[in-house]
Copies of this chain bind each other. A is one copy, B any other.
Amino acid sequence: MIPDQLTQGQFDTVYNLLSLVIAAQLFTALYLLIAQPRVLARYRQAIVVSAIVCGIAAYHYFRIFDSFKAAFVTDAPGGRGTYTQAAGLSFNEGYRYVDWLLTVPLLLLELIVVLALARKLQRSLLVRLIPAAALMIALGYPGEVSGDNVERFVFGGLSTIPFLYILYVLFVELTKSLDRQPQAVRGTISRMRILLFATWGVYPIAYLFPLIGFDGADAWVLKQAGYSFADILAKALYGLLIFTIARAKSFADDPGFAAVESSHDDAPVQVATPPAAGSAMA
């Protein structure tokens, strides 16, 4: 699985990609925490969960980065050398599954919480989506660490069942509830479901690489790139879209808040009166 040798270019590519993911997750988490007052109090739970998801991902990518950096050494510093695996160390891929086990259920939680659905419906969606998400990740892991293609195939298949169930809940059941959402956010919610479907789809594709005989250093670098970009899109971009929805819903709920917060010169001119200023702090 892990290649014995990497060229300088392959090593640098993985090194820079892993660092890119750290920066993207860490600063999206910080941005979301700092930007909390830009939405009404009722939507801040969703923003905080989004920030926590990006924070957890940043933590795991620090671990993956350090593990990768230590696991390979070059025979020709500064030049066009070859990297081989360092004695006594091994690159650990399992981190990714630990990350997903924590973050994937939280990603679904973010989406449901920001919609501010009726309490009973929200509860019904969460008690089905969150266990399904945890089960999907837990079933994938034994296949990922197995060297045996049959085991990989069986666990991959089992893991697909909760994945399809999650898609059913998001694209069929949830759709019935979207007509109560403000017009301004319906398009964003639809796009988020597609983003979730498209980025989550990267993981089973990378998972299948060994099954279709696509192996070796190039396949491995491509898999790292796929996971890295999928994680940026599925967590950082996704969190920023949650923020966009929360902000649009805040403006729709409270025109006074919108007037204080709006920064466009075509917005109605309104001098902040103390009550409006107070609601900005709420």
Q: CB within 8 A of A78: which of B71, B147, B180, B260?
A: B71
Given contacts A90-B81, A98-B20, A282-B277, contact A42 B261 (CB under 8 A): yes
With A16-B97, A260-B282, A277-B279 known to touch, is A71 a contact of B60 (CB < 8 Å)? Answer: no
A 162-197 binary contact with B (CB < 8 Å = 1; else 0):
000000000000000000100000000000000000
- Mostly, the A contact residues are helix
CB distance from A225 to the nearest CB of B (A): 13
B42 touches A263 (CB 8 A): yes
Evaluate whether A34 and B19 lie within 8 angstroms (CB atoms) in the complex, with A41-B260, A254-B271, A275-B274 already known. no
> Which residues from B are CB-within-8-Å of A271?
253-254, 256
Chain A residues 61 to 87 lying within 8 A of chain B, measured CB to CB, are 63, 71, 73-74, 77-81, 85-87
A229 to chain B, nearest CB (A): 12
A9 CB contact (under 8 Å) in B35, B55, B77, B145: B145
Interface check A149, CB cutoff 8 A: no
State whether the Cβ of A208 lies closer than 8 Å to any Cβ in chain B.
no
Decide yes or no: A263 and B45 within 8 Å by CB, A81-B90, A272-B282, A274-B275 being known contacts: yes
